Amino acid sequence: MRTPGSENELVRGLLFSENVYSDLETDPLIVVKEKSEKGFITSIDVTIPKEKIGKGFEISRSIISVSSCGICGKSELDSLPNNSVELKVDEKLNPEIISIMFEQMNSAQNTFKQSGGSHAAAAFTINGKLLAIQEDIGRHNAVDKVIGSLLFQKQLPKAKCLVVSGRISYEIVNKCFLAGIPFLAAVSAPSSMAVDLAEQWGITLMAFCRENKFTAYSHVENIKIYKKILPQRHKDSK
């Protein structure tokens, strides 16, 4: 289940975030195969050179873009990736820009404003500059579309913050890790597995980002902390 539109971005991002095709520079050949009577794309053919097929293709998994949450496509829990390498953080995140990033994403959610039934994802630089935003009925699809947009624009290395509506599942944390994005923020709650993997992979996970407040669950050390300096009292001279 998906929202029509940005099909190329969805396919590009899905293949990358599933580690099926992880080439940053060269895009795979994507060809529209079928359309519905209303003109919506229903089938796409993708050609990937054999030597560039990633390890994700070998995992026992059905590569289906789903709107639901959890480890939907996995045949077994044991097949989850076990990555020991943490993402590197070159610059800490200013907590004051988190609400600003959500404001930018919310203001650009045209589909949600019309229907009230779509999720959104957006990517930003470490300084809060918007790089890409996408909407979809499924938040995982929205994330894939954002990653695909960044890949087509050759801007994925600039993306340091991923902001999503809804809650955070393991799958979104995994996509964030494979995209190399060290900060992940959401409106709602994360799952316990999402928190555990974010801690393992070096991702600073923030949730309940509302009304200029948020809760950080992992790698809090990567968030700038500002100490209030109180004016000192001067003792009366005698």
What CATH number has the domain bearing residue 191? 3.40.140.10
Q: Return the residue matching tokens 């990567």.
A: 222
Residue 229 lies in a domain: no
- Would residue 69 show up in a list of annotated catalytic residues for this protein? yes
Residue 227 resides in a domain: no
Rounded to 5 degrees, φ, ψ at 17 are -75, -10
Calpha distance 185→205 (Å, rounded): 6
Q: Which of 69, 161, 176, 209 is catalytic?
A: 69
Dihedral angle computed from the Cα positions of residues 81, 85, 91 and 92, in that order, rounded to the nearest 10 degrees: 60
Which residue stretches of the chain have pLDDT < 70? 3-5, 38-39, 42, 58-84, 108-118, 227-238
Overall number of domains in the chain: 1
pLDDT value at residue 70: 43
**Given this model, what pLDDT does residue 133 score?**
95
128: tokens are 């809060």
**8 A C-beta contact, residue 144 and residue 109:** no
Contact (Cβ atoms closer than 8 angstroms) between residue 173 and residue 43: no
> How far from the centroid of its chain's Cα atoms is residue 84's Cα?
20
Token reading at 215: 């809760």
Asked whether residue 1 is domain-assigned, the answer is no
Q: How big is the chain by its Cα radius of gyration, in Å? A: 20
Look up the domain containing 177 and give its range. 7-65+85-222
The amino acid occupying position 29 is L
> According to the model, what pLDDT value does residue 162 have?
98
Task: Kindly state whether residue 70 falls inside one of the protein's structural domains.
Answer: no
Which residue do the tokens 């994925």 mark? 156
| Predicted local distance difference test score (pLDDT) of residue 64 | 52
pLDDT at site 74: 47
Q: What is the DSSP letter of 108?
A: T
Answer yes or no: is 96 within a domain.
yes
Per-residue confidence (pLDDT) for residue 112, from 0 to 100: 58
Q: Is residue 76 part of a domain?
A: no
In a domain, 57, yes or no: yes
Let me know: does 119 contact 166? Beta carbons within 8 Å. Answer: yes
Residue 233 included in any domain? no
Q: How far is CA 81 from the centre of its chain?
A: 17
| pLDDT for position 71 | 47
User: Does the predicted model carry a pTM greater than 0.95?
Assistant: no
Question: What was the pLDDT predicted at 67?
Answer: 43
